[in-house]
């Protein structure tokens, strides 16, 4: 069926895969009509997709370093774009983003702008140059460009802090979905999630992660777009929601006024009854509800963080050429755009179907007892994701008496809008794909940095290939377990830790990476100062703010990267200028990096 080389057959292989997945959805829909239980459908969806990823992971096993670290540098532009999109869009993007927009409106959408705008920085400032460098990991670039183990080690520290913060959130998300879909307790589900993550990456490293991420992108994008289009059509809001929801957005503003949004405040005693983690609508849907600086500072942190997160950057090491790396960034953003531009549409549809009394699904304004008798309300109330209470005792559900968890917007909306359960199963599989793909990228980024940069480059430079790859795999498993153990403790919410990861990465790595290419005078001392002081000052500010320090310049615990990266920039420039300029060989190396043609700085196998 597939003659010739694997790479040449990619469109055919993934075309067949997509077709097969659609057939699977149809089969499940038929099974649902035939009376298969909702629970069983959920299990089938999650188990089937996870097994496919594991199979791809097994088929991509390898014992070569360049295949393990950079997928043999032969991933075509468009496919690398898909893999990056899956790598990028985490459980937070898939499960939490539409919910955030639902509750916080315009102010929250700073994240949409930040998480896409950052790719302009990636394409123009970094990705093509790091590809030309030919490094295996981000610290590999720092270590070779600046020279010295201290620079390399500092980069590994920043990478580990940022990526580890991020990965606990992703393992947490896989655990949440696995526990709901497979109906097992969360602290066991976390390890089930971990096992699925490791199956994808352990045998084949970057090569396996690449091909599973492409498969995961296909699942997650179908799972996100299908319900949005379906609900929109069902509601009569328009066949193409992205272009046709203006009336619905206006209608929500009308209803918000009618239901007195923001006029009635809940008393503290009333709010105590609301289960933890649930929220009511307190911010208008489309109004500009935040100060410009608050919006902009959050966007800046997310953009600079995007350009500094190693698990994203290392995806561009896998393309066949510098040109392909550059174009691939465009494709990545295109594939991300498909989901991100749909999240606000989903939030709009979800809110309208709950609020509009003219729709059969609307619940605001109905009697409380009637709402409490609805099937889906009971299900999601039991899952601790929905809550109503008659605070004012008038027997009617008011806007301020309805509470929902952020995850429920994506997970529950299909059911609320009256779509068949097969769609809910699909959404669970999509969420699992999103969280797994990101977790895989992150775990691999950390373990590769430890195995390549610490073990091979610093501890045992004479290690043979086989030994290096065994160390890499052992570290992969250890880091996965550490992440899962912390995730099981449930210290922080998914979204909070994701935003922190961006701030950490930005504090320590943004300027050392950018100036490494764009400022020849930057030297090792400057870079080390920039990375360490940036990370330390950012972290110190975060800790201070969390302990009651009011902060300055309006920088909050979500935007502490602004402080960290400024300290990093200043210390890097000052220390570089105070110490000796880099030697002629390093300067020539930077010149080489700036030219796309010719050999990479580091060899194919190193």
Partner 1 sequence: MFRLLTYREGKKMSKQQQHWEKTRTLLFITLAIWFVFSIGIFFFGAEMEASSIRPLGYPLSYYMTCQGSLGIFVVLIFWFANRQEKIDEEFGYTEREDD
- Contact positions toward partner 1, by CB under 8 A? 106, 109-110, 112-114, 116-117, 119-121, 123-125, 128, 242-247, 249-250, 286-288, 290, 292, 295-296, 299-300, 303, 320-323, 326-327, 329-330, 333-334, 337, 340-341, 343-345, 591, 594-598
Q: Is 36 exposed, middle or buried (0-12, 13-18, 19+ CB in 10 A)?
A: middle
- HEC string of 557-571? CCCCHHHHHHHHHHH
Which residue, 38 or 253, has its beta carbon nearer to partner 1?
253
By beta-carbon proximity to partner 1, the closer residue of 186 and 334 is: 334
Strand blocks (E) in 188-324: 278-279
Token pair for 107 = 């102010």
Report DSSP letters for 456-475, one per residue. IIII-TT--HHHHHHHHHHH
Beta-bridged to residue 279, according to DSSP, are 404
Structural Rg of the chain based on CA atoms:
24
In the complex with partner 1, the residue whose CB is nearer, 363 or 499, is 499
Question: Whose Cβ is closer to partner 1: residue 85's or residue 428's?
Answer: 85
- Minimum CB separation from partner 1 for residue 211, in Å? 22
Residue 581 φ/ψ, nearest 5 degrees = -65, 155
- Which is closer to partner 1, CB of 80 or CB of 165? 80
Residues near 20 by beta carbon (within 8 Å), at least 6 away in sequence: none
* Residue 236 beta carbon to partner 1: minimum distance, rounded to whole angstroms: 16
Rounded Cα–Cα distance for residues 588 and 256 (Å): 62
Select 300 or 528, whichever has its Cβ closest to partner 1: 300
In the complex, least distance from residue 514 CB atom to partner 1, rounded to whole angstroms: 11
Nearest to 505 by CA among 118, 5, 182, 87: 118
Min dist CB 317 to partner 1, Å, is 14
Nearer to partner 1, 341 or 394 (CB): 341
Shortest spacing between CB 376 and partner 1, in angstroms: 27
Rounded to the nearest whole angstrom, what is the least distance from the CB of residue 250 to partner 1 in the complex? Answer: 8
Residue 336: exposure state from Cβ atoms within 10 A (0-12, 13-18, ≥19):
buried
In the complex, the smallest distance separating the C-beta of residue 202 from partner 1, rounded to whole angstroms, is 30
Taking a C-beta distance cutoff of 8 angstroms, is the pair 295, 107 a contact? yes
CA distance 479 to 448: 11
The count of other CB atoms within 10 Å of the CB of residue 605 is 10
- Distance in angstroms (rounded) separating the CA atoms of residues 241 and 306: 28
Shortest distance in whole angstroms from residue 570 CB to partner 1: 20
Distance CA 255, CA 261 (A): 9
What three-state secondary structure class fits 602?
Answer: coil
CB of 322 to partner 1, least distance (A): 6
Residue closer to partner 1, measured from CB, 134 or 147:
134
Give the residue with the Cβ less far from partner 1, 124 or 149.
124
Task: Report the C-alpha gap between 480 and 220 in whole angstroms.
Answer: 23
Closest separation between CB of residue 441 and partner 1, Å? 20
Please report how close the Cβ of residue 220 comes to partner 1 at its closest, in angstroms. 18
Q: Which is nearer to partner 1, 244 or 466 (CB)?
A: 244
Residue with tokens 């149809």: 26
| Class of residue 242 by CB neighbours under 10 A (exposed 0-12, middle 13-18, buried 19+) | middle
Question: Of the two residues 62 and 289, which places its CB atom closer to partner 1 in the complex?
Answer: 289
Taking CA atoms, 606 is separated from 140, 206, 453, 464, 481, in Å, by: 10, 16, 11, 11, 28
Closer residue to partner 1 in complex, CB, 310/344: 344
Strands 278-279 and 386-388: unpaired
Phi, psi of 123 (to 5 degrees): -70, -40
* Residue 551 half-sphere exposure toward CB, CA atoms < 13 A: 22
Q: How far is the CB of 167 from partner 1 (least distance, A)?
A: 26
């Amino acid at each position: 069926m597939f003659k010739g080389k694997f790479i040449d057959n990619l469109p055919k292989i993934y075309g067949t895969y997509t077709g097969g997945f659609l057939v699977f959805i149809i089969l499940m829909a038929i099974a649902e009509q035939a009376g298969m239980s909702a629970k069983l459908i959920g299990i089938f969806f999650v188990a089937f997709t996870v097994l496919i990823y594991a199979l791809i992971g097994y088929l991509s096993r390898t014992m070569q370093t360049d295949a393990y670290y950079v997928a043999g540098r032969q991933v075509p532009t468009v496919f690398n774009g898909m893999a990056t999109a899956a790598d990028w869009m985490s459980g937070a993007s898939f499960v939490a983003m539409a919910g955030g927009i639902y509750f916080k409106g315009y102010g929250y959408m700073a994240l949409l702008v930040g998480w896409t705008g950052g790719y302009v920085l990636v394409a123009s400032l970094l990705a093509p140059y790091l590809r030309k460098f030919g490094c295996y990991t981000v610290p590999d670039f720092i270590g070779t460009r600046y020279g010295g183990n201290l620079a390399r080690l500092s980069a590994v520290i920043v990478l580990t802090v940022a990526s580890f913060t991020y990965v606990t959130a992703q393992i947490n998300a896989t655990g949440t979905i696995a526990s709901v879909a497979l109906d097992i307790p969360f602290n066991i589900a976390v390890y089930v999630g971990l096992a699925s993550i490791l199956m994808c990456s352990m045998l084949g490293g970057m090569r396996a992660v690449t091909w599973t991420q492409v498969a995961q992108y296909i699942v997650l994008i179908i799972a996100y777009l299908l319900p949005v289009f379906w609900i929109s059509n069902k509601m009569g809001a328009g066949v193409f929601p992205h272009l046709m929801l203006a009336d619905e957005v206006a209608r929500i503003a009308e209803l918000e006024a009618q239901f007195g949004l923001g006029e009635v405040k809940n008393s503290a005693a009333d709010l105590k009854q609301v289960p933890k983690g649930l929220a009511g609508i307190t911010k208008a849907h489309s109004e500009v509800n935040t100060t410009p600086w608050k919006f902009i500072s959050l966007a800046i942190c997310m953009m600079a963080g995007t350009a500094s997160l190693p698990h994203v950057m290392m995806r561009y090491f896998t393309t066949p050429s510098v040109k392909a790396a550059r174009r691939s960034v465009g494709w990545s953003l295109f594939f991300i755009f498909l989901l991100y531009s749909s999240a606000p549409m989903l939030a709009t549809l979800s809110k309208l179907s709950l609020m509009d009394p003219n729709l059969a699904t609307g619940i605001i304004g109905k009697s409380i007892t009637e709402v409490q008798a609805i099937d889906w309300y009971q299900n999601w109330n039991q899952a601790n994701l929905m809550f109503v209470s008659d605070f004012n005792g008038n027997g009617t559900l008011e806007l301020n008496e309805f509470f929902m968890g952020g995850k429920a917007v994506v997970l529950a909306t299909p059911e609320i809008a009256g779509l068949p359960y097969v769609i809910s199963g699909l959404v669970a599989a999509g969420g699992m794909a999103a969280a797994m793909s990101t977790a895989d990228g992150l775990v691999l980024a950390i373990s590769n940095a430890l195995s390549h940069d610490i073990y091979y480059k610093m501890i045992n430079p004479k290690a043979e290939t086989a030994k290096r790859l065994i160390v890499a795999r052992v570290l992969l498993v250890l880091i996965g377990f550490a992440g899962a153990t912390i995730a099981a403790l449930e210290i922080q919410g998914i979204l909070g830790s994701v935003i922190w990861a961006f701030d950490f990465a930005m504090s320590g790595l943004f300027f050392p990476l950018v100036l490494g290419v764009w400022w020849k005078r930057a030297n090792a001392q400057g870079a080390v100062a920039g990375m360490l002081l940036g990370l330390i000052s950012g972290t110190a500010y975060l800790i201070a703010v969390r302990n009651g320090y009011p902060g300055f310049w309006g920088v909050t615990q979500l935007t502490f990267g602004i402080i960290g990266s400024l300290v990093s920039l200043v210390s890097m420039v000052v220390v570089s200028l105070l110490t000796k300029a880099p030697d002629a060989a390093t300067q020539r190396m930077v010149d080489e990096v700036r030219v796309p043609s010719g050999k990479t700085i580091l060899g194919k196998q190193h």
